[in-house]
Amino acid sequence: MEALETFIVESTVPEEGDAYKSIVADIITELVLGGAIGRIKVLVRPEESLYLMAIILRGGQPTVKLSDIASVEIGDLTKKEVRISITEEKYLPELLELLWARYGRAKVFQPERRTLVMNAEDTSAEIDFLKDMVVADPKRTLQSRLVEMAIRATPEGFRVRYHSMDPHKFVFVASEDIIKPEWIQEANEMTTELMEEK
């Protein structure tokens, strides 16, 4: 796990603090979130059935367009083909899903491992469209991984949950009871404290 600038876990039951910290650290490692999280603070108050998590995120990653990971060009002119030659194979599953949704599974051909071919009436317009197509949005996947991390780290039975995220922070509140507005406010204040830390 990449070193976090701040990693605080507090519990009103002192002997549980280290256990919660270990659980959170393990989940951060499993979900490969160390590079995305700069500072984190978790507060657990079992007597109130309350679990708060505040995270300051490191700089975000830009979206990945098809032109970033592949060349898109005209294939066989007589067949009106568009040919995609992939340079970064790790995005292939996401790319295939997008192409199948646009053209249909039966109309996307893969003659070689890193080559995809489709037919299009207006090949030049299709090439322009495909070059700008977003293949991966790290912000979207980051949010789902942060929510998964928070849920996995939450004590058993804390099924009432709230979360919010912006480009710089993530806030999570969980309880067995209805979420009180002051708990959300407290979690937001925790992010402010983390941001102000030197």
Which of these, 143, 125, 136, lies nearest to 96 by C-alpha position?
Answer: 136
pLDDT recorded at residue 134: 92
- What CA–CA distances, in Å, run from 102 to 68, 88, 95? 20, 21, 11
> Tens digits of per-residue pLDDT, 52-67?
999 999 876 678 899 9
Which of these, 73, 102, 88, lies nearest to 136 by C-alpha position?
Answer: 88
Dihedral over alpha carbons 65, 163, 148, 64 (to 10 degrees): 10
All structural domains of the chain with their residue ranges: 6-60+138-196, 64-136
Positive or negative, the CA dihedral 190, 194, 195, 197 is positive
> Tens digits of per-residue pLDDT, 7-54?
999 999 988 889 999 999 999 999 888 888 999 999 999 999 999 999
